[in-house]
Amino acid sequence: MDISPSRKKALGWLLAAFTALLLSSEPVAQLCALPEELTLSQGATARFNLNWPITASIDPAQTVLSGLSETLDDVTSVSLTGEETGQATVTFRLMGVLPVKRVAVSVGEARTVMPGGQSVGIAMTTRGVVVVGLSDPGGTVASPARLAGVRPGDVVTDVDGEALVSAADLSERVSAGKPVTLTIQRGGRELRVPVTPVQDGSGKSRLGLWVRDSTAGIGTLTFFDPESGVYGALGHAITDADTGVILPIDSGSLIESRITEIERGEKGKPGELIGRFGAASPVLGTIDSNGSCGIYGRIDGKVVNALYPNGVPVMASGEVRPGKAQLLTTLDERGVRAYECEIVRLTDSASSERGFVVRVTDPELLARTGGIVQGMSGSPILQNGKLAGAVTHVFVSDPTQGYGIFIENMLDAAA
């Protein structure tokens, strides 16, 4: 039977509307949210809760993975457990028949690291100098750097082709008043900018720049790998407070510190752990890199966590689930303590240091700090006896909550 063009058009619209409705439904959204690739360690289990009757079959049929599908109250829970190292493909099937999603799974050897939680001092110098502001040298003389196109957040690495080591070095290089060429790093690009200094009211030659060449503060150690001596801390980059640019590191030291005061956090006002370290404080190790997932380097000697003297297994990001967890941090001379918290939800953020939301539930920690405060960045988060990640940011509107980074991302950045 022939179908008229108008009916074909109407059927097409109906089919398109049905498809759009289907694709926007929660069950389909859950299936689309399943990862294309999944990494597990031996003995680790990843669980997926779906609102459709789904089964998981493992191909090839070998002992790399074991799988289990259970249905309770119209919710299907699919569990995948890493048994041996290797590769496998998992096919999710609707009603046990229709294939709807394939996931490539890699099972690696279980890794154990020493969890941190210790308060550490951070002292580092930058590679070159960071421009934090521009100013007119005085009177009617405009900033020559501004006129040349220099911007806050630029990193000046060289003057006339020679490496710049400090703010004092920059002042010395322009003191003669002669034209210079600045090599600038800006957003991944390298620029060469000619600038001619001008004299200020005192007769000194100036470029009209405010710059920063070092920083210091405290944070929290996240992990230490006894085999390699590598550590990770903070879970986020050290940035310039004025411009937000990630500070390029030239050299740095990780230093033993102690907490001397706690400023309790409140809604709209982040709190802070105030620590002390100085020239006489023991140096724990080097700071070799500063990136979006934290700071990294090597520690001479050993790091001991009395709560977990034998270390803890690393949890793959695919294993992390909303639920109870523990946060390790230092508030006083008692050293590292474990406090109750919960992972509220996993995020879909593209930012690696904001992989999940964590809420502090421990009465003691809430009473003393109000929740998450500055200086706690890097505090390890354990779930089911495994290292799942670390605290990175506090919610200014609710200091009991903040973001966390998956330990998997920190370890990848340390590699």
- Alpha-carbon torsion, ordered 328, 329, 335, 337, to 10 deg: -40
353 three-state secondary structure: coil
- In DSSP notation, 168-214 reads HHHHHHHTT---EEEEEEETTEEEEEEE--EE-TTS-EE--EEEEEE
- Alpha-carbon torsion, ordered 252, 254, 259, 260, to 10 deg: -40
Catalytic residue among 253, 352, 377, 379: 377
Q: How far apart are CA 214 and CA 238, in angstroms?
A: 11
Q: Are 290 and 246 in contact (CB under 8 A)?
A: yes
Cα-Cα-Cα-Cα dihedral sign, residues 95, 101, 106, 110 = negative
Active site residue 253: no
Q: Give the angle 327-339-118 at the CA atoms, nearest 5°.
A: 60
245 three-state secondary structure: coil
Query: Helices H, strands E: what count in the chain?
Result: 6, 30
Active site residue 240: no
Q: In Å, how far are 64, 117, 312, 396 from 306, measured between CA atoms?
A: 35, 11, 12, 32
User: Residues 6 or more apart from 200 whose CB is under 8 A from it?
Assistant: 137, 138, 141, 206
Catalytic residue among 169, 250, 288, 362: 362
Active site residue 225: no
Q: Are 359 and 342 in contact (CB under 8 A)?
A: yes
Q: Are 137 and 199 in contact (CB under 8 A)?
A: yes
Cα-Cα-Cα-Cα dihedral sign, residues 132, 138, 144, 147 = positive
Report the run of H or E that residue 28 belongs to, with start and end.
Answer: helix 26-33
Catalytic residue among 213, 236, 257, 352: 236
Q: Which residues are the active-site residues?
A: 236, 362, 377
